[in-house]
Amino acid sequence: MSDATVTAKRQGPSWLILPGIVWMALFMVVPIAMICYVSFWTQTTFNISSTPTLASWKQFFASDTYTGALWTTVRIWLIVLATTFIIGYPTALFVGLFVKSKTLSTVLLVICVIPFWTSFLIRVLAWRPMLGKEGAINIILQKLHIISQPIEVLLFTELSVIIGMSQIYCVFMVGPIAFMLGRIDRNIIEAARDLGAGFGRIFWKIIFPLSLPGVVVGAIFVSVMVLGEFATSGALSGRKVNLLGNIIVTQVGSLKWAMASVTGVILTVVMGMVIAAFLRIVDLKREL
């Protein structure tokens, strides 16, 4: 039997992949191609025509509003990624590694997911009465006489957006990391101890490298969601923080299809680069 036949046999009937191809073509490839195409259309105040032009692209990069939104998106993404990692990793370490009972670790993970039983918008808006000038945090701090004046920077600022997003997306970091940590054979850690390594060494040389695929998957989850965000920033910043997502929403709202498409293409490219960069860190196919 030749190699080609062997490969064909192992792969099975190739028509099975057809529904997938049709689906992806209709709902991913065609729309993305369409967005790219529309981004070169000519936009006038009340009309749009398919005459190709670079006007929208030039306008995007010439305007401080648009480039500013790009940098704000990148900045908030990096900060939220860092906070979800800093809060999420120790949590995952506890749930996935230090909790010995499998049942308890499952229960803890379910507890992490419980907030998702309420709608996304409610979870975001719930931060308002928490962070506001007369919100829960300010009232408690004042009652405890820790502060005399309410902290105003808590709500309708970039900080409130970061707090809200970190809380909402943290669990997407915890899950994959806890899963990878839970798969580590306890004997491996004991073997490292037996060879004379202290906890710090074991963590950096054994535990962390073995959990890295989980970190990468979690980071990809968080990144994709944060980069495409518009609701949290809209609701918690009082429209002061504009992300690329918010730009797209306003442009579509005012029927500026060409500009919305330019922003969409740029957002897609940024996401593509971020995912590609993360996938370079570990070979996920090998690890999972």
Partner 1 sequence: MTTQTAIFRIDGVTKSYGGVKALDSVTLEAGVNEYLSLLGPSGSGKTTLLRVIAGFEVPDSGRVFFQGRDITNLPAHERGIGFVFQNFALFPHLTVRQNIAFGMANGAVPVSAQETAQRTQAIIDMVGLTGMEDRGVDQISGGQRQRVALARTLVMQPKLVLLDEPLGALDANLRGRMRNELRAIRERMGVTFLHVTGSETEALAMGDSVVVLDRGRIIQRGAPDDVYSTPASPDVAHFLNRFNLFDGTLVDGKFTGAFGTVAAAKVTRAPRDVYAIRYDRLRVMPLSTAAKGPALKATYIANEYLGSSVMNFFEAADGKVVEVEHHLSLGAPETYEPRQDYLLTWAADQAIVFGREGK
Closer residue to partner 1 (CB): 61 or 204: 204
Least CB distance from residue 205 to partner 1, whole Å? 6
Least CB distance from residue 178 to partner 1, whole Å? 18
Closer residue to partner 1 (CB): 155 or 217: 217
Least CB distance from residue 109 to partner 1, whole Å? 24
CA atoms within 13 A on the CB side of 287: 22
Taking the C-alpha atoms of residue 46 and residue 54, their distance in angstroms, rounded to an integer, is 18
Least CB distance from residue 133 to partner 1, whole Å? 50
Closer residue to partner 1 (CB): 210 or 249: 210
Closer residue to partner 1 (CB): 75 or 193: 193
Least CB distance from residue 201 to partner 1, whole Å? 4
What phi and psi, each to the nearest 5 degrees, are found at residue 48?
Answer: -140, 135
Closer residue to partner 1 (CB): 134 or 194: 194
| Residues of the shown chain interacting with partner 1 in the complex, contacts defined by CB under 8 A | 185, 187-188, 190-198, 201-202, 205-206, 209-210
Structure tokens belonging to residue 217: 């998957």
With contact defined as beta carbons under 8 Å apart, do 241 and 69 qualify?
A: no
DSSP letter for each residue of 38-96: HTTSEE-SS-EE----SHHHHHHHH-HHHHHHHHHHHHHHHHHHHHHHHHHHHHHHIII
